[in-house]
Homo-oligomer: A and B are copies of this chain.
Amino acid sequence: MSSPKDHRGSDSSRIVISVDAMGGDRGPAAVVAGIYTSAGINPELDFILHGPADELEKLVQRRRGLSERCQIRDAQGVVSMEDKPSQVMRHGKGTSMWSALESVRAGEATVAVSCGNTGALMALSMIRLRKLPGVNRPAIAILWPSRNPQGFNVMLDVGADIRADAEDLLQYALMGSAYARNGLALTKPRVGLLNVGTEEHKGRAELKEAHDLIAAREDAGNYKFVGFVEGGDIPGKRCDVIVTDGFTGNVALKTGEGTASLIGDLLREAFAYSPLSRIASVLALTSLRRLKKRIDPRRVNGGIFLGLNGTVVKSHGSADATGISAAVKLAYELARSGFGDRLAARVASAAEAAQDGDSQKDVNKS
């Protein structure tokens, strides 16, 4: 068995992604179609695919050249969307999800991708990969379409944990900015702390405390802190990384998705309304496709679990081949940049700086 280092870094080495073929709404066929697309785009990419071997063999054989780049690991069990995380933690061994994480744990693959049950995936990731030293609560980070030049902002936590104290929010700032450096290629990401924006409001003492903590760690964390931001700044350009607790982040994420989806449907209705508007929709097709691509959640498919010994990409449960391929692309980029090790170094150095009572700047490249 090889070490994680073997699969990462230079262009000459192969990058191996561990993929859970089961648990998504569209079944393993969509997953195999997605990794086939990714394999075509990135020649240095290999896969370990987890699920019922007989079924997967057939699907992989149908895709030309895929079997040479894809190992199959038999796992007969499947974690369903209805399974409770606590049950999966006790009885999850033998499932494709467990097996997919195991490849990362063993160092065979750098990043795991799954479109299964989020709660179960986080619970299994916590017990199998374990938390990074210095991290109390792991977080789920997502990319959000924004007005910034890079096209997306990072928001975390969107639902790993419903609570976060000031120290947790500081960890989110460190992890989120590390992700923005590696995933969005920003040298010094701007971090904002989500609030209702009115200083007058009393309470939420943890936000004021977090404000001071995050401001004090700007240098050690290699980010710029812009202070409190509001909901409107999540798709805005005031900052690149939005830090919040998992309850608020989850509500914001789903509200934004729901609003975008409603507008999309109303737009379709508007274009279907009259013969003239139907002609218009044909003329505007290219422009509308470009717009759709820009805000299509499938194109930025993948929440990242941060704060674990290993990187896990959670794809949407309803992801189709395009969505799976986007999640694999993200996994590939993170693997290639050595994101996991950099994040671990960053978190460890920040914890050290906190212990020393001063900031240290020697890991600013991570």
Choose among A86, A267, A282 the residue with the greatest number of B CB atoms under 10 Å from its CB. A267
Interface assignment of A4: CB less than 8 Å from any CB of chain B: no
Question: Min CB distance, A298 to chain B, in Å?
Answer: 16
- Interface pair B146/A262, CB less than 8 Å apart: yes
- Interface pair B284/A277, CB less than 8 Å apart: yes
- Interface pair B200/A85, CB less than 8 Å apart: yes
Interface assignment of A64: CB less than 8 Å from any CB of chain B: no
Question: Min CB distance, A133 to chain B, in Å?
Answer: 24
Chain B contacts of A230 at CB under 8 A? 250-251, 254
Give how many A residues have a beta carbon under 8 Å from the other chain's beta carbons: 69
Chain B contacts of A280 at CB under 8 A? 280-284, 287
Q: Which of B159, B251, B279, B284 contacts A194 (CB under 8 A)? A: B251
- The residues in A between 270 and 327 inclusive whose CB is less than 8 angstroms from any CB of B are 270-271, 273-274, 276-277, 279-284, 286-288, 290-291, 294-295
Chain B contacts of A236 at CB under 8 A? 258, 262
Chain B contacts of A270 at CB under 8 A? 284, 287-288, 290-291
- Residue-wise interface mask of A (187-208) relative to B, using a CB-CB cutoff of 8 A (1 in contact, 0 not): 0000000101111111110000
Docked Cα-Cα span, A233 to B283, in Å, equals 33
Interface assignment of A186: CB less than 8 Å from any CB of chain B: no
In the assembly, how many copies of this chain are there?
Answer: 2
Chain B contacts of A163 at CB under 8 A? 203-204
Also in contact, A266 and B252, with CB within 8 A (given A119-B200, A162-B204, A271-B284): no
Chain B contacts of A200 at CB under 8 A? 84-86, 119
Question: Min CB distance, A166 to chain B, in Å?
Answer: 16
Chain B contacts of A76 at CB under 8 A? none
Question: Min CB distance, A101 to chain B, in Å?
Answer: 18
Residues of chain A touching chain B, judged by Cβ–Cβ distance below 8 Å, are 84-86, 118-119, 145-147, 159, 162-163, 194, 196-204, 230-236, 244, 246-248, 250-263, 265-267, 269-271, 273-274, 276-277, 279-284, 286-288, 290-291, 294-295
